[in-house]
Amino acid sequence: MTDLLLAFAHHGFVFALLALLAAELAIVARGVQSADVRRLSGLDAAYGLTAMVILVVGFVRVFWGAKGSAFFLHNPVFWAKLAFFLAVGLVSAMPTIRFVRWKKQLQADPAFVPAPAEVAAVRRWITTELVLFVPIPMLAAAMVRGYGY
């Protein structure tokens, strides 16, 4: 039962992460206004927290789940999945930096609106995150089916 609950939590947080990322993309795709800066900042904070929870729950599954750590730690598919997840995390730093900067600028000037070129750059970074995320479920499905083990 523990493994089932861990799997459910892990997958639920992954779906939440994707929803948060899609919400960020939806906001930046239409153009960012002053009111959007706070929304993006909050979404991004939730995104970072969700990513950390995914890692924690994932590693709890590795070490205390039904398959055991030997199944995961010696599997190159597991490491590829983790590498893609970490790549998504590294790429997510760029939008986060912009959101923090925009929030500071908004605090200094309540009429602040990010430049269209900056918004376009953030949109490209978020799109890159989504592209890097695509292989993760495929690798997870392959791993569970014993590929790489």
pTM of the model: 0.91
Question: Which one-letter amino acid corresponds to residue 122?
Answer: V
CA distances from residue 16 to 8, 37, 79, 137 in whole angstroms, order as listed: 12, 20, 22, 14
Summarize pLDDT for 40-58 with one digit per residue, the tens.
Answer: 999 999 999 999 999 999 9
How much is the pLDDT for 89? 96
Query: Residue 144's pLDDT is what?
Result: 86
Angle (CA) 144 147 149, round 5°: 95
Q: What are the tens digits of pLDDT across the range 58-81?
A: 999 999 988 889 999 999 999 999
Cα three-residue angle 71-75-78, rounded to 5 degrees: 100
Residue ranges of the chain whose pLDDT lies below 50: none
Question: Is the distance from CB of 139 to CB of 80 less than 8 angstroms?
Answer: yes
Three-state SS sequence of the chain:
CHHHHHHHHHHHHHHHHHHHHHHHHHHHHHCCCHHHHHHHHHHHHHHHHHHHHHHHHHHHHHHHCCCCHHHHHCCHHHHHHHHHHHHHHHHCHHHHHHHHHHHHHHHHCCCCCCCHHHHHHHHHHHHHHHHHHCHHHHHHHHHHCCCCC
